[in-house]
Every structure is written in structure tokens, then in C-alpha cells.
Amino acid sequence: MAMRRREGTVSAAKHEAIREAATRAFLEKGYAGTSMDEVAALAEVGKQTVYKHFSDKRQLFTDIVLATTHQVDGLVRLIAQTLDASDDPRSDLEALAHRFLTTLMQPQMLRLRRLVIANAADFPELGEAWYELGFERVLSTLTSSFSLLDERGVLRVPDPESAAEHFVGILLWIPLNKAMFTGNEHAYTEDALRRRADLAVHAFLDLYRVAEHPLARNNPATDSTDRPL
């Protein structure tokens, strides 16, 4: 019994070592550029051990990429924590937008995004699953939070699903595309990301804030002082 438990622990440790090695290799060299030999060497196990745990490179890749959707758990919790009880939507949205942007712009996250996109045509089911468990889960959490803020009268959001799409679209389209197309993982300074987050929230609140002074809303004189930059 003790013997079997030790075997199980060793096996689990090897499984984890293979997964870690494969994650590193895939993120660095892509799917085509990674071999099972390399994964075995990086994990410091024999090649036959890799095949004992994962039937082929395809299965290993699928397992690794699907597991990364757990990284979204943190963002999902953050959204609910930041927004659901908010009474200061500008400052809370700015904090959320900033965390969101800096998280997605991390080099590791950019490489993961590139890896999934690069292989989506060859792994359509994996791509679908990643989109649902990652991308769409963030959207539906934002949708719930905006719906709640609308009910509480903190924002005016007649269509929370569109609002969620506008929030991420305004915030992310430019910096994520710049990073994806240019391959530059440090295209923005910390200050530039903060400025982008603040500007995105400014536009978002122009769409969804509760009107306090209806007449002030479209008055260029007050609006210009209202702009953060």
C-alpha cells in the first residue's frame, strides 16, 4: 500500500514535470517547433514516460492549452469583486481596466494568445473550448456585473451584453493587436497602459453613466475639463 502510494506520487510528479516542460516549450517554440524528445529532455524523464502520460503531441498540447483557461479564474473573481458592490464606478472601473490590460499584456499571456490563434485552424475544438472557457467567460461575468450596477442605479446599462463588449473592445483592440502583429511584448510603458485604461473608462462612462446633469452632458465647455487628459 505504502509502495503503491509512493509510485502514485512519483507518477504525479512526473506528470506535472512533463506538463510544465511542455508549457514552456510550446510557448517558446510553438506547436510545430516542439518535439516530444525535447519535452522529455526538459522534463528530465525518458521519452517513453512522456508517452505513458500523454498519447501523442496533439493530446499533450490540448491538455496544456485547456488548462490555461484557469488563468481566467482570477480575472473573473476580480471583475465581480471590483464591480458588484461598487459605489464609485469611475475609480473602480479604472482599477479593473488597468488590471485587465496589464494582465493580458504580460509576455506569457501574449505568447499563449499567439499560440492558440496560430493553431486554431488545426485544433478547431480546442479553439472553441478556449474561446468559451476563457474569452466568453470574461464577457459573461462583465455582463452580470453591469446588469447588477444597472439594477442598483450606479450605471445606466439597458443592454449589459453590449456594454460588456464595448468595455473590452474600447480597452483592448489597439494594444492587443499591436502586440500580436508586431511581436513586441513591451510595446507600452506602464504609464501608457494606465493612460489607456483611464481613457477607455472615460469613453465607457460617456456611454453608460447615470446622468446627473443632463444639460452638462453635451456642453463642450464642461466636457473639456471633464476629460482626464
Binding segment (CB under 8 A) for a copy of itself, from list 3-11, 43-51, 77-85, 125-133:
125-133
* Strand, coil or helix: 44: coil
CB of 117 to a copy of itself, least distance (A): 5
Task: In angstroms, give the least distance from the CB of 53 to a copy of itself.
Answer: 26
| Residue 187 C-beta: closest distance to a copy of itself, Å | 10
> What does the block give as the cell for 52?
505513458
Cell of 189: 510603458
Residue from 127, 137, 147, 194 in contact with a copy of itself (CB under 8 A) = 127
DSSP state of 155: B
User: Is 170 one of the binding residues for a copy of itself (CB under 8 A)?
Assistant: yes
Instruction: Determine if 221 is a binding residue for a copy of itself (CB under 8 A).
Output: no
Number of residues near a copy of itself (by CB under 8 A): 54
Nearest to 202 by CA among 214, 194, 213: 194
Question: How many Cα atoms are found within 13 Å in the side-chain-facing hemisphere of 156?
Answer: 7
Among 41, 80, 193, 199, binds a copy of itself (CB under 8 A): 199
Sign of the dihedral through C-alpha 91, 95, 100, 102: positive
